[in-house]
């Protein structure tokens, strides 16, 4: 079976290619650093990428599809999916198309961008980042039997775990209790809720608040300069090493108002950091309440305060949750596990079709990787 994956994570392409009988080719927009891609054991090409209606991107993908002759094209996220759908218009022998969706916002019948991507009639199946994403697609009118939850994985698991020593550069005492988050801080991420919780935790002078990422929501600056917590808030901006820095935190908190799954959460759990998340979207699917961490109601500042204070007072529980979180990621959210979940999707969309893949695709799971 030939599979063309557009804008997928390289390690997922690599994991799929390890299966006997799968010929996988990865294609990425040129905005990705090709030197990085070449370090993975995966066949790869680039194309121009760009906006959904980019003629150059559509033409380039059409040429790639025509030459590679895949059985399946798997397009990750809206722009790549639009490029694929438009590239295959008028093709006599059209490969099956699978999408990957990573947001929970509903599709709109009045949005042309949705019609040329996820609502396009030529999309045969949808792989979803979480059950919450799948439910959103079904509510938007996509047939339930065309949607599968495959979850997601990290782009590249952090290679280093520097721990608390890495936070000395931010003037955080070594004995502090550090509550951290990593995000592009838009309102939907709920970082303002975290800072509101911080003002209510202010009698606990040992708690420091480490916020990594670009700040978009102006409310964050307002709450970060509150006199009750200002001296213990660290706004450090975007950092390339964010997934390593977070290993120095005691807690990773993501109080999102809406969330498909959250890459930063997976990275923090991989590092063994105890997670506290809202029940928005798919995060509660990754974090099992009272097993891997704590799950609180979305936009409930009082519950967030209670969770943080409880864990500050029980460091043994913090360590227990952190260890469980690390195992959870290793068991369920690796590139290999995602590939295992994707293969049945391919089987379903190819089922009953005359293709060289159908003769042996049912045996792929039994054969495993070569």
The CATH number for 258's domain is 3.40.50.2000
Please indicate, yes or no, whether residues 83 and 144 belong to a single structural domain of this protein: yes
Split at pLDDT 50, 70, 90, the class of 36 is: low
End-to-end CA distance of the chain: 15
pLDDT of residue 361: 52
* Residue 158: inside a domain: no
Task: State the average pLDDT for the chain.
Answer: 92
CA distance 184 to 202: 25
Whole-Å CA distances, 341 to 130, 148, 244: 12, 9, 28
Q: Choose among 46, 47, 5: nearest CA to 24.
A: 5
Please indicate, yes or no, whether residues 222 and 77 belong to a single structural domain of this protein: no
Helices (H) and strands (E) in the chain, counts: 15, 13
This prediction's pTM:
0.91
Please indicate, yes or no, whether residues 349 and 236 belong to a single structural domain of this protein: no
Please indicate, yes or no, whether residues 55 and 125 belong to a single structural domain of this protein: yes
Tokens (6 digits) for 275 = 């997670």
Given a cut of 50, whether residue 354 has pLDDT beyond it is no
Please indicate, yes or no, whether residues 81 and 195 belong to a single structural domain of this protein: no
Q: What is the CA radius of gyration of the chain?
A: 22
Q: Computed from CA positions of residues 348, 352, 357, 358, in that sequence, does the dihedral angle turn out positive or negative?
A: positive
Split at pLDDT 50, 70, 90, the class of 214 is: very high
Please indicate, yes or no, whether residues 325 and 349 belong to a single structural domain of this protein: no
- What share of the chain has pLDDT > 90, as a percent? 85
Please indicate, yes or no, whether residues 181 and 115 belong to a single structural domain of this protein: no
Please indicate, yes or no, whether residues 205 and 111 belong to a single structural domain of this protein: no
Please indicate, yes or no, whether residues 325 and 350 belong to a single structural domain of this protein: no
Tokens (6 digits) for 226 = 């509150």
pLDDT of residue 32: 63
Q: Choose among 313, 337, 261: nearest CA to 15.
A: 337
Q: What does the pLDDT average to over 218-225?
A: 96
* Residue 313: inside a domain: yes
Q: What does the pLDDT average to over 325-353?
A: 92
Helix (H) or strand (E) holding 196: helix 191-200
pLDDT of residue 130: 97
pLDDT of residue 366: 41
Tokens (6 digits) for 164 = 């608390």
* Residue 315: inside a domain: yes
Please indicate, yes or no, whether residues 211 and 341 belong to a single structural domain of this protein: no
Q: What does the pLDDT average to over 118-141?
A: 97
Q: What does the pLDDT average to over 131-151?
A: 97
What secondary structure letter does DSSP report for 278? E
Query: Containing domain of residue 266, as a range?
Result: 163-332
pLDDT of residue 42: 75
């Amino acid at each position: 079976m030939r599979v063309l994956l557009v804008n997928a994570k390289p390690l997922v392409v690599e994991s799929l290619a390890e299966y006997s009988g799968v010929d996988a080719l990865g294609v990425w927009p040129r905005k990705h650093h090709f030197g990085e891609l070449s370090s993975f054991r995966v066949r790869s090409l680039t194309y121009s990428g760009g906006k959904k209606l980019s003629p150059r991107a559509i033409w380039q993908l059409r040429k790639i599809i025509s030459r590679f002759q895949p059985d399946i094209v798997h397009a990750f996220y809206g722009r790549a999916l639009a490029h694929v759908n438009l590239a295959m218009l008028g093709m006599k022998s059209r490969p099956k198309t699978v999408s990957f969706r990573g947001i929970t916002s509903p599709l709109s019948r009045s949005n042309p961008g949705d019609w040329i991507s996820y609502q396009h009639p030529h999309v045969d199946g949808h792989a979803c980042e979480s059950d919450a994403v799948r439910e959103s697609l079904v509510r938007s009118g996509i047939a339930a039997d065309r949607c599968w939850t495959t979850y997601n994985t990290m782009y590249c698991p952090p290679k280093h775990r520097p721990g608390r020593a890495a936070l000395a550069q931010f003037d955080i005492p070594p004995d502090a209790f550090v509550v951290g988050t990593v995000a592009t801080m838009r309102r939907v991420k709920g970082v303002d809720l975290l800072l509101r919780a911080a003002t209510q935790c202010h009698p606990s002078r040992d708690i420091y608040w480490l916020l990594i990422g670009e700040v978009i929501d102006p409310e964050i600056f307002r709450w970060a300069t509150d006199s009750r917590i200002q001296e213990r808030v660290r706004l450090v901006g975007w950092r390339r090493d964010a997934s390593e820095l977070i290993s120095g935190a005691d807690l990773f908190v993501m109080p999102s108002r809406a969330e498909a799954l959250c890459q930063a959460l997976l990275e923090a759990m991989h590092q063994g950091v105890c997670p506290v998340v809202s029940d928005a979207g798919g995060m509660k699917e990754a974090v099992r309440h009272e097993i891997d961490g704590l799950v609180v109601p979305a936009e409930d500042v009082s519950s967030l305060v209670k969770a943080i204070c409880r864990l500050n007072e029980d460091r043994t529980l913090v360590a227990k949750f952190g260890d469980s979180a690390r195992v959870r990621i290793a068991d369920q959210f690796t590139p290999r596990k995602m590939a295992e979940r994707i293969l049945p999707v391919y089987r379903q969309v190819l089922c009953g079709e005359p293709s060289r893949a159908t003769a042996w695709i049912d045996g792929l799971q039994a054969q495993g990787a070569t």
